[in-house]
Amino acid sequence: MPARRTRRPKNVKTMEVGLTTSVPIRASIAHHPYRTRPEWDMHYGFELGVVLSGRMRRHYLDATSTLSRGGVWLNGMWEPHGFSVTTAPCDAVVMLLLPQTLAALSFDEAPDIDFTAPFRASPKARPVAGRGDRDDVTALALRAVELASERGAYAPLRLRLVALEILLTLMSGWRRPARIEPPLQDEYARINPSVDLVLGTSRLVTEAEAARACHMSRTTFGTRFARLMGIPFSKFALRHRLRGAASQLRATNDPVKAIARDWGFTDASHMHRNFVRHYGCTPNEYRVRRDS
């Protein structure tokens, strides 16, 4: 059966959400003080959202839904999606999850569970929060935001467990479709191998290597990646390594020289130059800010 092809709105923004193997989950609160018209975007990574107050309408290519307090939405990878606030003020928790993190999960007690399935099902067939679950889901979403800003070695793990608890709550009463459609097969699917390659390692990934992973010439790949992602591949790959280095600076007392080596930089001075250009401070200054 051929893959689905649906024309997407012209005003869809392609966003970089900053997920990495060292930061596989992000959680934040989105505040909307006024009613809004539909705004569309798409990004690498799954999205899980919970409405805290007000009402919003979620838009997909072939479906819409209206959510109030405790309502949950799910978006797939590279899936165009939008929202409009219908009752303001409207607050919501937005969680972004690295697909590899969910895909790699396996439990002996439930070997058949697939945490990616709710995101890959068609919008109309995805699980929703029952009325009896909305208070619990709301509390878990708020806890996720708290953990996202906490320091400490266990906070990221607790955040992952909270995300799984929300998914398990949604899936407990969900009748999974017999067949889950694959993601829309468009140009984004063709560059996904290069994104997976970058996010799956801390080493330097060259544009030539990424082009081979996508079975394209370097010129074709470079042009297509920049057009679709809004950023050259080399800069995308560099930002991933800089975010990883920054995460290691925050979480450890490892020498800068060792961190530079871990994240594929030629030496400490090479990382230093790029770090200053991206973050506006040196690696050591960044670490001092952490301590203060």
Return the sign of the alpha-carbon dihedral for residues 175, 82, 238, 153. Answer: negative
Instruction: Give per-residue pLDDT as tens, 57-73.
Output: 999 988 999 999 999 99
Instruction: Give per-residue pLDDT as tens, 251-268.
Output: 889 999 999 999 999 999
Asked if the model's pLDDT at residue 96 lies above 80, the reply is: yes
Average pLDDT of span 274-279: 92
How far, in whole angstroms, is CA 45 from its chain's centroid? Answer: 4
Same domain, 235 and 167: no
Same domain, 165 and 45: yes
Same domain, 239 and 127: no
Range of the domain at 60: 16-171
Instruction: Give per-residue pLDDT as tens, 104-155.
Output: 888 889 888 889 899 989 999 999 999 999 999 999 999 999 999 898 889 9
Same domain, 110 and 236: no
Same domain, 28 and 114: yes
Same domain, 152 and 196: no
Asked if the model's pLDDT at residue 103 lies above 50, the reply is: yes
Same domain, 109 and 233: no
Same domain, 157 and 207: no
CATH number at residue 166: 2.60.120.280
- In this predicted structure, what is the pLDDT of residue 153? 83
- In this predicted structure, what is the pLDDT of residue 181? 62
The pTM of the full predicted model, rounded to 2 decimals, is 0.76
Same domain, 272 and 244: yes
Q: For residue 67, tell me if it sits in a domain.
A: yes
- In this predicted structure, what is the pLDDT of residue 173? 86
- For residues 92 and 56, the answer to whether their CB atoms sit within 8 Å is yes
Same domain, 28 and 149: yes
Whole-number Å distance between alpha carbons of 138 and 170: 12
CATH number at residue 240: 1.10.10.60
Same domain, 26 and 167: yes
Residue 245 burial class via C-beta count within 10 angstroms: exposed 0-12, middle 13-18, buried 19 and up: buried
- In this predicted structure, what is the pLDDT of residue 10? 67
Q: For residue 148, tell me if it sits in a domain.
A: yes
- In this predicted structure, what is the pLDDT of residue 7? 53
Q: For residue 256, tell me if it sits in a domain.
A: yes
Asked if the model's pLDDT at residue 86 lies above 90, the reply is: yes
Number of domains comprising the chain:
2
Read off the amino acid at residue 160.
R
Asked if the model's pLDDT at residue 282 lies above 90, the reply is: yes
Q: For residue 176, tell me if it sits in a domain.
A: no
Task: Using DSSP bridges, classify how beta strands 46-59 and 64-67 pair: parallel, antiparallel or unpaired.
Answer: antiparallel
Asked if the model's pLDDT at residue 193 lies above 50, the reply is: yes
What letters, b where the CB count within 10 A reaches 16 and e where it falls short, cover 128-165?
bbeeebbeebbebbbbbbebbeeeeeeebeebbebbbe
